[in-house]
Structure 1
Amino acid sequence: MVQFTGKFTRVSAENYDEFLKALNVGFILRKAATASTPVMEITESDGNWSMKTSTSMKSMELKFKLGEPFEEETSDGRKCTTTVTMEGNKLITDQKAIKKGEKDVRAVREFFDDKLIISMTCDGVTSTQVYKRD
């Protein structure tokens, strides 16, 4: 079984600006997001998971139990009901926007021995990011 926990640093991002546009993220926030080099740290203890993503500008932490919906305020300001599930070597995050007119996002984190590949989809636009395991 592949290791889910650990520290990962983003090394590439495809279609990220287009994905952020689909989410209605403004120009300045998009530029900051695409220029940053996030570090993601994933931990788990007794079924309690934490995904902390840090950049030089800010840090965000998600705390969850697999399969249990929770309320989240995303980095772009949406309030969502979010559920994280595990399928094989993947953690799948489904964000359902609470406010009418806001967007839903599905993020699939696929884990390998040396890296993590995240595919995020909103309104049919997908961004793929590669993080190397530190």
Structure 2
Amino acid sequence: MGPLSQPFGSVDTPSLDPNYSFKGEFTKYTVIAVAAASKPAVEITQQGESLSIQTSTSVRTTYVSFTVGESFNETTVDGRPCTSFPKWETDRKITCEQTLQKGEGPETSWTRELTNDGQMILVTGDVVCTRVYERD
């Protein structure tokens, strides 16, 4: 059984679309966005279960690389160190729970889903902010 068909924990991994790669530009928010984050571009590259996500705005560029099913250290959007655990929810949707490494604050998470009509939908946190990106 290859890495794309092995279960993670007690949840079976879905049959994966072999191409989760995505490159596109932001098209809309479901909440009002700050000017600094307007029109971000995102690029996701995939090699097996390993994904790299680069998000660029006119103010900054962020980059994260991880393997689905393995925890990794990163920083929340507001700068708090956390441990993140990404997992496949479906063959087109990844969810990631983030646990703060120290201190208190709101729980954070994100979900990225590729749609059949060429969009990527990013949902972040309990106070939901949804970004929709159109494929280039």
Q: TM-score, normalised by structure 2?
A: 0.77
Is the contact between residue 43 and residue 50 of structure 1 (CA under 8 Å) also seen in structure 2? yes
Q: What is the CA RMSD across the aligned residues, in angstroms?
A: 1.8
SS across alignment from 1:32: helix
Structure 2 residues not aligned, in runs of 5+: 1-16
Q: 2:109 aligns with which of 106, 110, 124?
A: 106
Structure 1 residues not aligned, in runs of 5+: 18-29
Q: What is the one-letter code of the residue matched to 2:24?
A: F
Q: What is the one-letter code of the residue matched to 2:42?
A: M
Tell me, in whole angstroms, the C-alpha distance in 2 between the residues paired with 1:109 and 1:45. Answer: 17
Aligned residues: 118
**Residue 120 (structure 2) aligns with:** 116
Match status 1:81 vs 2:83: yes
Q: 1:107 to 1:40 in 2, by over 3 A?
A: same
Tell me, in whole angstroms, the C-alpha distance in 2 between the residues paired with 1:5 and 1:63. Answer: 13
Which structure is richer in relative contact order (CA contacts within 8 A, separation 6 or more)?
1
Q: What is the one-letter code of the residue matched to 2:89?
A: E
**Residue 45 (structure 1) aligns with:** 47
**Residue 30 (structure 2) aligns with:** 14
Q: 1:16 to 1:105 in 2, by over 3 A?
A: farther
Tell me, in whole angstroms, the C-alpha distance in 2 between the residues paired with 1:13 and 1:91. Answer: 19
Q: What is the one-letter code of the residue matched to 2:23?
A: K
Q: Which has the higher helix share?
A: 1
Counting aligned pairs with the same residue, the percent is 31
Is the contact between residue 3 and residue 112 of structure 1 (CA under 8 Å) also seen in structure 2? no
